[in-house]
Structure 1
């Protein structure tokens, strides 16, 4: 038996305690209840939508915001991505807009900011110099997409801590004055294999415009030499934005390098081993035509354009058959060639070559030259039966302009102004190598390598 009770306005179906089957009547009752529920559902569907609970509304809004953020990130991409660690600082930052133009990019690391630039279409932004190792960076970018919607994206990441480092040193001293042939010389504590990356990190500025090029002498020495001599009375600044640059695989620079120095008055000398005379040009005018004696046969003073390295008064000179204190000595090769006072050979000066390889001058002329000389003054030797040896002093002026360009990893010329330097194609350079002695060495020295 079954019994249907009403309690609290609801109907309940209660099976009797007897173990009989409900039979057809039971199935009819269940069907009736199910049918009634169906009528209720149909009635609800034909009316107004059911109210959404607060929890469901919040969940939907959160999902929508998440989808919008994902869409924004897809349209405005920042690399390295948010949360990345051990980022290679030399790879830099790249912000890309897939739709519309980038309006602004701000990169900070503590109180420091990072500079960069856009491409012409304002769809890509890159930082200018390498990032610093072992630092946290935050990038905030804003763009306006093609539909006019403002999009923002942010990324925070941490650069790696190098396992090995390289250091760079510059030859020139702060606020020191040098001659018009002085190249910038940078030396590195370990071999550099990423030479192009290093060149790109270097900036030169000059109070007077010049054209030059970088030249690698091996893997640990880098020169910047001008096409022609520096203009006299020029201030030169060097900025090596090296911190974070990967010198070789896994080896990074961890500091920048800067220096400022001056180019003084022009002092150029040309020694002829054939005529036995030295032509001296000071401040653009011929200042002297002095008799000299150069290296005797077998000890010849060799061809090439060198620069003065140092001077001393007196200098102890020791060699095969001599040990002398020599006055007013100006050195131009590592192997020991000087322009110096030689009172013992005055009778031969202007007539014949009797020295051990140095350029002998009278005491009066040697003192005059010594008082003007500074490191970096060009010294050219001509007329010798032999050419100079590469690396015996600062010998980058042995190179022609074309040879100089071949020593650059980028193969480009560098145009220098007061606001900095720019890499340019050599074919776009309008300046030409000078052949006048006051501006640069003549082609007869190019073979001296």
Structure 2
């Protein structure tokens, strides 16, 4: 009898000791004791046991996901910071610049498990995160973290032509010049959307990692509204460079104005929306300075333009050299100095008869004034039958000399 009493007493002491350990919050590997008869089912559906067994709540550990991670460097400012809890909730989230300032606004999901920042981050800024995690038993844990965004040296931007609000000719391609090389061109093309009221599709032509042109298959339809929507904030250019802005540039095109110059007939015929509106005699480049053929776009217009033979490589004593002079009604076609302009007085007798220029299209005074006043930047001049090659794409805007099927090839 005494031995039996001792065994019972030992069992009671063992059970009391185990209950005390669980009540004290001990954490360890739980196994089913031999006296329980069978394994206790999982209690993941309820934080408090409501079936026979150990008299203590069993709570799942909270799994926490925080973006950006603690101590992260060179964080993309477009990354949306967030705090997410599994098997718990988050509250009291504060995300603020480390050197002070206004905390970023954020939203909390309906179930209280996820907080997401609404305001964008800024470049070259350290941020402090503080938040509270609540587990399924109502216990709270406060946490703090830090991260730093991309330095200003890694910011990238871009410039667009035509400028916002401009009105240009229907031959004007869009040009985007990026401040940094674009390695992932496909991603960049997805980040920039070009739409035209005419519904014309466009193609991209990359001339380098930093320069791209965009145009439709044919000239822009008359009086089109064209929009260039650039979602570049946070776009990875490559080499650690990150886009720093979003912007929309819109411009309008005028009528389709095309001047066709033919060296055989020594004439210029000007068409507005396909209708002939002007015919004028011309003089073109002489045999040593042939005028380039193909399409060119008027780049700029100057009522009075200073010409210098040195800009085309001539110096005093060279054949074809001329002293600095001022030319009337100048319409630039190429960056190297091909213009449509009023012919010099000494060349008026050659207009319509022979070629005496250094590659420019020369007009008589009245015709030059008409051209200057009625044609605009972005309008097109097509030159035929000179025997010279076509205008190179980057010699101004010679993009229209590239066949459409080849234009988008990188």
The TM-score with structure 2 as length reference comes to: 0.67
Query: Tell me, what secondary structure is at the counterpart of 2:60?
Result: helix
Partners of 1:51 and 1:349 in 2: how far apart?
Answer: 112
2-structure distance, mates of 1:41, 1:304: 106
CA distance in 2, matches of 1:137, 1:211: 46
Measure the CA separation in 1 of the matches of 2:212 and 2:167: 21
Name the counterpart of 1:289.
Answer: 279
Q: Name the structure 1 match of 2:373.
A: 371
Partner of 1:206 in structure 2?
196
Which shifted more, 338-347 or 351-360? 338-347
1:280 aligned partner: 270
SS in 2 for 1:327: strand
Hey, what does 2:305 align to over in structure 1?
A: 315
Bigger Rg, structure 1 or 2: 1
Match in the other structure for 1:267 = 257
| CA distance in 1: counterparts of 2:27 and 2:358, whole angstroms | 95
What's 2:228 paired with? 238
1:353 matched residue in structure 2 = 355
Residue aligning to 2:115: none
Report what 1:223 is aligned to: 213
Residue 404 of structure 2 corresponds to: 401
Is the contact made by 1:87 and 1:157 (CA closer than 8 Å) also made in structure 2? no
The correspondence of residues 404-443 of structure 1 with structure 2, limited to 5 A, is: 404-407=407-410
Aligned-partner Cα distance in 2 for 1:158–1:225: 42
Which residue in the other structure is 2:72 paired with? 85
Equivalent residues of 1:309, 1:331 under 8 A apart: yes
CA distance in structure 2 between the aligned counterparts of 1:214 and 1:259, rounded to whole angstroms: 17
Looking at structure 1, the residues matched to 146 and 196 of structure 2 have their Cα atoms a distance apart, in angstroms, of 37
Query: Quick one: which of 140, 145, 149 aligns to 1:160?
Result: 149
> Gapped runs of 5+ residues in structure 1?
1-30, 45-49, 96-107, 115-129, 139-155, 408-449
Change beyond 3 A, Cα 1:271–1:392: same
Structural mapping, 1:334-349, within 5 Å: 334-342=335-343, 343-349=345-351
- Equivalent positions of 1:39-188 (< 5 A) are 39=8, 61=47, 64-66=58-60, 85-86=72-73, 88-89=75-76, 133=123, 160-162=149-151, 163-188=153-178
Distance across 1 between alignment mates of 2:255 and 2:170: 7
Deviation at 1:257, TM superposition (A): 3.6
Matched length: 325
CA contact (8 A) 2:169 2:256 kept: yes
Q: Distance in 1 between matches of 2:402 and 2:105?
A: 42
Judge conservation of contact 1:90–1:245 (CA < 8 Å) in 2: no
User: Hey, what does 2:35 align to over in structure 1?
Assistant: none
- Does the Cα contact within 8 Å between 1:235 and 1:261 map onto a contact in 2? yes
Mapped partners of 1:285, 1:137: distance in 2? 66
Note the C-alpha offset of 1:298.
1.0
Please, what is the CA RMSD of the aligned residues?
Answer: 4.0
CA distance in 2, matches of 1:395, 1:131: 41
In 1, Cα distance between equivalents of 2:266 and 2:329: 19
The question of whether the paired residues in 2 share the 8 Å contact of 1:80 and 1:157 is answered with no
Inter-CA distance 252–56: structure 2 relative to 1 (3 Å threshold): closer
Structure 2 portions without partners, runs of 5+? 14-18, 29-42, 49-56, 83-94, 97-102, 108-119, 130-144, 310-320
